[in-house]
Amino acid sequence: MTEFNEYMEEYKKQLEKGVIQEAYQGLMEYIMSLRTHFESKFPEYTVSGNVYHGYMDMTYFALFTPSLKDRKLKIALVFNYDSFRFEVWLSGSNKQVQSKYWKLFRENSWDRYHIVPSLEGADSIIEDVLVDDPDFNDLDTLSDKIEKGTVRFIEDIKGFLSDYD
């Protein structure tokens, strides 16, 4: 328990500086504005009502296209804290769906994007990096990169899946 106490002491020191709160609030505001951007620019997508804030491991919101929703699949736009980057994931609505599509992609040797090596502990089936080392000084350019990468990812996934209907 001493280690936990030491972590909490360091956490307290960092919070007293005030920078973490400002950065976190700014990041949450940006992600919520990104969610709103997708909702207004892509009315054909269903955008989840909530942003998952996570435990400082990831923050994300989900997108659903009609064809993916019919398959119980979703697209997650993720800010990954460990790698400090934006990613896009294909995920299933439950473990059975996750397993079905993970097997489909693996058995067909699809190599367009990274297929997670194992579903154990995984929240995704396929992942791609949208923006590595994001520049938060230019949010319009950052949003443009995220949008273009996400749309490309969705179209590639839909294209692959249409071959297996």
Query: What number of CA atoms fall less than 13 Å from residue 122's CA on the CB side?
Result: 21
pLDDT at 94 over 80: yes
Domain positions in the chain are 34-162
pLDDT by residue (tens digit) across 11-51? 999 999 999 999 999 999 999 999 999 999 999 999 998 99
Q: How far, in whole angstroms, is CA 45 from its chain's centroid?
A: 16
Query: What number of CA atoms fall less than 13 Å from residue 108's CA on the CB side?
Result: 13
pLDDT by residue (tens digit) across 74-86? 999 999 999 999 9
Give the three-state DSSP class for 136.
Answer: coil
Residue with tokens 């443009």: 144
**What is the DSSP track for 85-130?**
EEEEEEEESSHHHHHHHHHHHHHTT--SSEEPS--TT-S-SEEEEE
Residue with tokens 């020191």: 13
- Of 127, 156, 131, the residue nearest 31 (C-alpha): 131
- Residue 1: pLDDT band by 50, 70, 90 thresholds? low
Q: What pLDDT sits at residue 165?
A: 63
Q: What pLDDT sits at residue 2?
A: 76
- Residue 164: pLDDT band by 50, 70, 90 thresholds? confident
Record the tokens describing residue 114, joined without a space: 């990274």
